[in-house]
Amino acid sequence: MRMPSLPPGLAAGAARGAGRLSQKLGRGGGTTLPGLVLSRLRPEATAEMARAVPGGVILVSGTNGKTTTARLVRATLNASGTSVVANTAGSNLERGVATALLNDDGAEIALFEVDEAALPGLIEQTRPRVVALMNLFRDQLDRYGELEHLVERWRRAVAGLDPSTTVIFNADDPAVAEIAAGHPNTVSYGIEDHRVGRDRLPHAADTTECRRCGNPLNYDMVTISHLGRWSCERCGIERAQPNVQAIRVELHGMDGQRLAMATPKGPIEVSLRLPGMHNSYNAIAATATALALDIDPETIGPALARREAAFGRAERTHIDNTRVTTLLAKNPAGANENIRTMLLEDHPLHVLVLLNDRTADGQDVSWIWDVDYELLLESDRLESLTVGGDRAYDMALRFRYAGLDPDRLSVAPSVPAALDAALRTCGAAGDLYALPTYTALLELQSVLAERGLVPAFWEDE
């Protein structure tokens, strides 16, 4: 049974009321509830509100990096004086987008980070002006199903796009490149700097066969997981030279990096405060998107440089004299990059891994066995290791069977207890790195907020 649609004004009013009520009752920031209410009362509301945004809708999607990339694009829009309506704090399903549009008061452009499984639906509803397709990695098999199914859904969604839509895509991801291949209006991006690449695929690599003929792909450079400069010997397809490319990537540990990009509108250099090669990709994707929105190259670099890490993405906090760096780690590709980035530091590392298995994390914790935690254990800089979260003991077994002496490991399932245990081992003036899954990050964030150290997450802009 379906309820008849309420008229727009009435439906919107009821939905906003629900959000305010939620906040008053202390049920969180109301970042998704109004949208959920609205979509029940008036299912066509998202499409109507999206059409009303004068500068159009930009969608940013991919397994990893969409939050940061959307923030970077937003920084360039702000710097060029364009007002933006955006979803925040990971409210990246349809209801989060609807809530953001509902709270919009006349912004010129709409910019949304979108869950990879929600992208096809939101493409249909919002008829975007620009879609940025970043990457597809193995993630939450219980929820998204196999990667192949997602690839197929994206392919159909892109085939249904209006030809005038600009598709920004990562040329280094063979699956994403193939999805974008048939679209008439595309801008590709990628990394060209050989020095930052590896010559071998890591264990967690997903798309390693040619999507056209099934032959194993050749890589003359691997960057992250299955991303890199790929080609197929048998049928001859290969990664095309990207339109926007990083020709020099200088990683400076946790402090950030310098990027030199070549673009159709000239060179852009930027000093990013965001660490790691995953953030190099985010910055290049954001640059390609900003250029597609006709933002000046001179505006882009400084705008990106000012941006600091998003909520839990290499965010830094101090607890007394201990510096705590939080690195969201929710799938093998992301966790591997965090580990590589941490190992660029030359000081002793204290590490806290928090593993939850709730719906937003994925209930199947098998993925931790595909992360190369061995790199951490083999490093002489690892000083202490603490594990916590709902599945702390699974994490403990991961390290036990990687060869760690269990006496060197602290286990505390509750997140506050695990944090305290890690801080104790770390001692004053230490450097603690927290690697939480998504809901563990929310828990960690609320523990820190209770202690007055960080703002609550829905206050994150």
Partner 1 sequence: MSTGSPAVRLCHLYPDHLNIYADRGNIAVFRRRLEWRGLELDVAEVGLGDPIPADCHLYYLGGGQDRDQLLVAEDLAGKADPLRLAADDGAVVLGVCGGYQLLGHGYAAADGRTMPGIGLLDLETTAGDSRLIGDVVLDVTLDGQTRTVVGYENHAGRTHLGGGCTPLGRLRRGHGNNGSDGCEGAVAGRRMGTYLHGPLMPKNPWLADILLGWALDYAGHPVELAPLDNHLEQSAHAVAATRAGKRR
Q: 339 to 358, contacts with partner 1 by CB under 8 A?
A: 357
Please select the residue that binds Zn ion; options are 111, 136, 210, 286, rule is CB under 5 A.
210
The binder of 321, among partner 1, Zn ion, none, by C-beta within 5 to 8 A per type, is none
**b/e map of 356-393 (b: 16 or more CB within 10 Å)?**
bbbeebbeebebbebbbbeebeeeeebbbbbbbbbbbe
Q: Which stretch binds Zn ion (CB under 5 A): 149-157, 213-221, 283-291, 404-412?
A: 213-221
Closer Cβ to partner 1, 33 or 217, answer by number? 217
The binder of 213, among partner 1, Zn ion, none, by C-beta within 5 to 8 A per type, is Zn ion
Structure tokens at 92: 């990246």
Binding of partner 1 by 440 (CB under 8 A): no
Binding of partner 1 by 394 (CB under 8 A): yes
Please select the residue that binds Zn ion; options are 232, 272, 423, 441, rule is CB under 5 A.
232
Length of the chain (residues): 461
Binding of Zn ion by 212 (CB under 5 A): yes
Binding of partner 1 by 260 (CB under 8 A): no
Q: 119 to 138, contacts with partner 1 by CB under 8 A?
A: 138
Contact yes or no for 352/422 (Cβ under 8 A): yes
Q: Give the dihedral sign, CA 53/55/57/58.
A: negative
Using alpha carbons, list the distances in angstroms from residue 39 to 2, 17, 29, 125, 461: 12, 14, 18, 12, 24
Binding of Zn ion by 249 (CB under 5 A): no
Q: Which stretch binds Zn ion (CB under 5 A): 96-104, 215-223, 354-362, 401-409?
A: 215-223
Closer Cβ to Zn ion, 215 or 366, answer by number? 215
* Total of chain residues touching partner 1, rule CB under 8 A: 33
Please select the residue that binds Zn ion; options are 159, 235, 240, 247, rule is CB under 5 A.
235
Phi then psi for 147, rounded to 5 degrees?
-55, -40
**Continuous H helices in 25-146:** 33-41, 45-51, 66-79, 94-102, 119-126, 141-144
Q: Strand order in 166-170's β-sheet?
A: 84-86, 109-114, 57-61, 130-133, 166-170, 186-191, 244-251, 257-263, 266-272
The binder of 402, among partner 1, Zn ion, none, by C-beta within 5 to 8 A per type, is partner 1
Tokens 């939480």 map to which residue? 436
Structure tokens at 329: 């780690």
Binding of Zn ion by 213 (CB under 5 A): yes
Binding of partner 1 by 390 (CB under 8 A): yes
The binder of 394, among partner 1, Zn ion, none, by C-beta within 5 to 8 A per type, is partner 1
Contact yes or no for 244/189 (Cβ under 8 A): yes
CA angle 77, 53, 263 (to 5 degrees): 35
The binder of 141, among partner 1, Zn ion, none, by C-beta within 5 to 8 A per type, is partner 1
The binder of 396, among partner 1, Zn ion, none, by C-beta within 5 to 8 A per type, is partner 1
Binding of partner 1 by 402 (CB under 8 A): yes
Contact yes or no for 286/76 (Cβ under 8 A): yes
Q: In whole angstroms, how close is the CB of 216 to Zn ion at the nearest point?
A: 9
183 Cβ contact list (under 8 Å, min separation 6): 158, 161, 163, 165, 167
Distance CA 332, CA 312 (A): 17
Q: In whole angstroms, how close is the CB of 175 to partner 1 at the nearest point?
A: 12
Contact yes or no for 226/205 (Cβ under 8 A): yes
Please select the residue that binds partner 1; options are 6, 14, 47, 141, rule is CB under 8 A.
141
Closer Cβ to partner 1, 49 or 412, answer by number? 412
Q: In whole angstroms, how close is the CB of 234 to Zn ion at the nearest point?
A: 5
285 secondary structure, DSSP code: H
Please select the residue that binds partner 1; options are 27, 83, 198, 208, rule is CB under 8 A.
208
Q: In whole angstroms, how close is the CB of 369 to partner 1 at the nearest point?
A: 3
Distance CA 83, CA 108 (A): 5
* Strand 382-388 relative to strand 349-354, pairing: parallel
Q: In whole angstroms, how close is the CB of 209 to partner 1 at the nearest point?
A: 8
Structure tokens at 320: 């007394």
Binding of partner 1 by 418 (CB under 8 A): no
Footprint on this chain of partner 1 (rule: CB under 8 A): 138, 141-142, 145-148, 203, 208, 214, 357, 363-370, 390-391, 393-394, 396-398, 400-403, 406, 411, 413
